[in-house]
Structure 1
Amino acid sequence: MIFAVFMISVSSGSGLSQYTNVKNALNQFHITSLYPKNKNGQTYGSAAYATSPETEPDLILATGVDGTEGYLLRKDMEGELPKTPEEAIAMQNSRSPEGHDIPLYDKDGETVIGVFRVGGE
């Protein structure tokens, strides 16, 4: 059914904007149908079920450095993005070879229950 709607909209000349609308609707459906929400409205679960970075849950299932299972905030995993190529190089050169720690949360997205190491060995 969705494919048929997509094909009709493409043939009617409004294809690109309709495609974007359909893609966004499918991503939202994927997120809300696969992942439960916590009391704060954040989705949580394994990123293994995501079909793209846009469909990953807000809280991603992970195991902390001490074996504790919890969730990472997607925004913590993504980190700050550089604004220029020079800033990207500076950020890369400033990274520690041991990596860095980010909080590991309970599914409520508020309670810190451990740490997760990003990068390093």
Structure 2
Amino acid sequence: MQHIVRSKHLVLFSLLCSVALMAGFSLSSKSFLLDIPSQSDVRINGYPVNKNGESYGPDIKDSEISPDLILVQSGSVLGYVKSSDLNDGVDSLAEAISSTPTSKTIPIYLEDGTTVIGEFYVGG
């Protein structure tokens, strides 16, 4: 009888974990649902803008416009860095990564530009 009760609890726990993961949550660490516009969406509609008036999305190499918040990945963290944090006289994420003479760490944000979810290493 005790074995059956444990099995039912294990099944219930597994089901709850699956539901939590599908909803964008994690039991071991924080997870966030990130709004990421596709490159084709950006080309057609322009970059989306958050409530602070900042544009966000991927840095499209052949585009003349860059967003205020640029999509990056650092380890398992996917989010946005402020272009102003990257800009030391450079125009793109790739340029900033390759030409920064000193290394620095800058915050990674959600698309709101205020919620910090990680750190991004830049430099040589």
2:57 is aligned with 1:45: yes
Alpha-carbon offset, residue 51 of structure 1: 1.4
Question: Contact 1:31/1:57 (CA < 8 Å) preserved in 2?
Answer: no
Alpha-carbon offset, residue 33 of structure 1: 3.0
Report the number of matched residues. Answer: 74
Specify the SS of the correspondent of 2:60: helix
Alpha-carbon offset, residue 58 of structure 1: 0.5
**Larger Cα Rg: Structure 1 or Structure 2?**
2
Could you report, residue by residue, the CA deviation over 1:22-77 in whole angstroms, capped at 9, with x for unpaired residues? xxxxxxxx88932111111111000126613xx1000000012x320000101001
Report the AA paired with residue 114 of structure 1.
G
CA RMSD of aligned residues (A): 2.7
- In structure 2, the residue matched to 1:112 is 116
Report the AA paired with residue 75 of structure 1.
S
2:80 is aligned with 1:71: yes
Could you report, residue by residue, the CA deviation over 1:52-106 in whole angstroms, capped at 9, with x for unpaired residues? 3xx1000000012x3200001010010379xxxxxxxxx94xx2xxx21111011
Residue of structure 1 aligned with 2:72, choices 62, 65, 87: 62
Relative to the length of structure 2, the TM-score reads 0.51
Question: Contact 1:105/1:111 (CA < 8 Å) preserved in 2?
Answer: yes
Relative to the length of structure 1, the TM-score reads 0.52
Residues 50 and 41 of structure 1: CA distance in aligned 2, closer, same or farther (over 3 Å): farther
